[in-house]
Chain A
């Protein structure tokens, strides 16, 4: 599983404070800790509260880059902020994200082509998140064709089937699992699939348990990548173990340790 660490996000209080105080130390610690825990990339999001979003994005990317060399997942609804992040990341980046709306794809996909980096495509359009797997697949197909038109390889597209809180919409987890399977038939080679996992447990009790179990289920249905908190070691252990059981990784007695090496 391609792990994108979610912790550098202005929505978390520790990160928000560090941005306000322009104190790189806590951010850099989070970067190092997440990579050491098995993150293959790090999400960078300035959060909603930041007054100078452009400056905050540039600063976050620059100080993170000083301590780790994994790709940075530039996470912003604003394409100007996105461009600043991509520029600062010097091409070692992933774009988070576009939706399936024409207007949004027209702005974001050229950035992916220009900076030659993978892009996350959410199965959301003007009407919001579709109710079932078929609706999600319609948008996924639109995303795949739009990428092809821009010359972006389908393997550089991560389809995010948008998981929603289980306490509000209990039918969604199953629909998302179906979508994960169907995505593999979209093109050859197929696009990759990704989930912003923790959304599933928003507002619920036993959040970590829900996240963990659902991640295992998603992996068994073909999930390629996830935006998660890699510092949740039980979550990571569950993911690593799933990959061994699915024969995607070679077993050895120290298989948990081997993954984190």
Chain B
């Protein structure tokens, strides 16, 4: 007897978002990225279309990172004093689909870099690479509101993604994105209700549904990741069920979360039973990224080149629709 595979009939699909603008579109990018448009849960090709593959953004910090474990640091120490060179390496050697530039130097508790300095860095990265850019503030509301208008202007016309708008702080960044033609990341804690609320606030200001990417803050493997999976999946289920205010593509930050847990960096002599340090962080990043991929995330922000290569292969396999 032939086996009939049960199929779910969804009534709606995920919004499509295009990041980056080429010369014809008023920018200088050599490539653009389109995400979203899914008509079903991740990779269920028999049930509906998945017109766009999930993408990998590689993280670039605008100042030299401290405390990175050696297996990660060795890939970046030749470029980490120069964000433009770092971005170039991530794209040319490691195949990043886009760059996620984090303006950590602006943090008033750290280097307290000025808006002009940040804008300059953005321009240098835009000149160094042709892929689209995610521009992320320093996660200090007050300072972000000071620098983001200038950062936004520095990338004007390039259809960058600005991060991030939150329930308590969204007006400045949203106005900047609207003025300079960028997309925006709507951030919430791991809470679908708050995510939806931020989406409403931002669309109230006039942001197009197609210019929004959702980000619920998640940890990594071993740190509540099962709950994160279920909330991201629930968000996507609501989208496919027709909830317009949850239909935007999703982003997950994996690299920084995976590499900060002790399993990723604790030296072998302290924890010999955990196996070689050489591989642990990579495995941690791969496992976390893969899990979010299957929970329906559209953009993974990652760090280690080997982890990126592995996850990219996995995306290839899943998108091929063939049994692996």
Q: Mark A240-261, 1 if CB is under 8 A from B, else 0.
A: 0000000001111110011001
List of A residues within 8 angstroms of B195 by Cβ = 252
List of B residues within 8 angstroms of A261 by Cβ = 200, 203, 244-245
Give Cα A155–Cα B9 distance, bound, in whole angstroms.
Answer: 10
Interface size of B in residues (CB-CB distance below 8 Å): 15
**Cross-chain contact of B243 among A189, A250, A253, A254 (Cβ < 8 A):** A250
A257 touches B243 (CB 8 A): no
Give residues in B with beta carbon < 8 Å to A: 9, 192-197, 200-201, 203, 238, 243-246
Using A261-B244, A261-B245 as known contacts, say yes or no to A254 and B197 having CB atoms under 8 A apart: yes
**Cross-chain contact of A250 among B9, B201, B203, B246 (Cβ < 8 A):** B246
Q: Shortest CB–CB separation between residue A251 and chain B, in angstroms?
A: 5
Give Cα A251–Cα B200 distance, bound, in whole angstroms.
Answer: 12
A257 touches B200 (CB 8 A): yes
Q: How many A-B residue pairs have CB under 8 A?
A: 33
Give Cα A253–Cα B196 distance, bound, in whole angstroms.
Answer: 9
Nearest A-chain residue to B200, judged by Cβ: A254
A252 touches B196 (CB 8 A): yes
B200 touches A258 (CB 8 A): yes
Within 8 A of B (CB), among A216-261: 249-254, 257-258, 261
Q: Mark A168-194, 1 if CB is under 8 A from B, else 0.
A: 000000000000000000000100000
**Cross-chain contact of A251 among B193, B201, B244 (Cβ < 8 A):** B193
List of A residues within 8 angstroms of B9 by Cβ = 155, 189
Using A155-B9, A258-B245 as known contacts, say yes or no to A250 and B193 having CB atoms under 8 A apart: yes
B238 touches A252 (CB 8 A): no
Q: Shortest CB–CB separation between residue B110 and chain A, in angstroms?
A: 34
List of A residues within 8 angstroms of B197 by Cβ = 252-254
B196 touches A250 (CB 8 A): yes
Nearest B-chain residue to A155, judged by Cβ: B9
List of B residues within 8 angstroms of A249 by Cβ = 243
Q: Shortest CB–CB separation between residue A148 and chain B, in angstroms?
A: 17
Q: Shortest CB–CB separation between residue B266 and chain A, in angstroms?
A: 39
List of A residues within 8 angstroms of B201 by Cβ = 254
Nearest B-chain residue to A249, judged by Cβ: B243
Q: Shortest CB–CB separation between residue B24 and chain A, in angstroms?
A: 30
B193 touches A252 (CB 8 A): yes
Nearest A-chain residue to B239, judged by Cβ: A250
Q: Shortest CB–CB separation between residue B315 and chain A, in angstroms?
A: 28
6 additional contacts (CB under 8 A) given A250-B238, A254-B200, A258-B244: A250-B192, A251-B193, A252-B194, A252-B196, A253-B197, A261-B200
Give Cα A252–Cα B204 distance, bound, in whole angstroms.
Answer: 15
Q: Shortest CB–CB separation between residue A130 and chain B, in angstroms?
A: 31
Residue from the set A250, A251, A252, A258 with the largest chain B CB neighbour count within 10 Å: A252
List of A residues within 8 angstroms of B203 by Cβ = 261
Give Cα A23–Cα B50 distance, bound, in whole angstroms.
Answer: 46
Nearest A-chain residue to B194, judged by Cβ: A252
Give Cα A251–Cα B243 distance, bound, in whole angstroms.
Answer: 11
Q: Shortest CB–CB separation between residue A179 and chain B, in angstroms?
A: 24
Nearest A-chain residue to B243, judged by Cβ: A250
Offer 12 A-B interface pairs, CB within 8 angstroms, sorted by A. Answer: A155-B9, A189-B9, A249-B243, A251-B193, A251-B196, A252-B193, A252-B195, A252-B196, A254-B200, A254-B201, A258-B245, A261-B200
Q: Shortest CB–CB separation between residue A155 and chain B, in angstroms?
A: 7
Give Cα A250–Cα B192 distance, bound, in whole angstroms.
Answer: 8
Give Cα A257–Cα B195 distance, bound, in whole angstroms.
Answer: 15
List of A residues within 8 angstroms of B192 by Cβ = 250
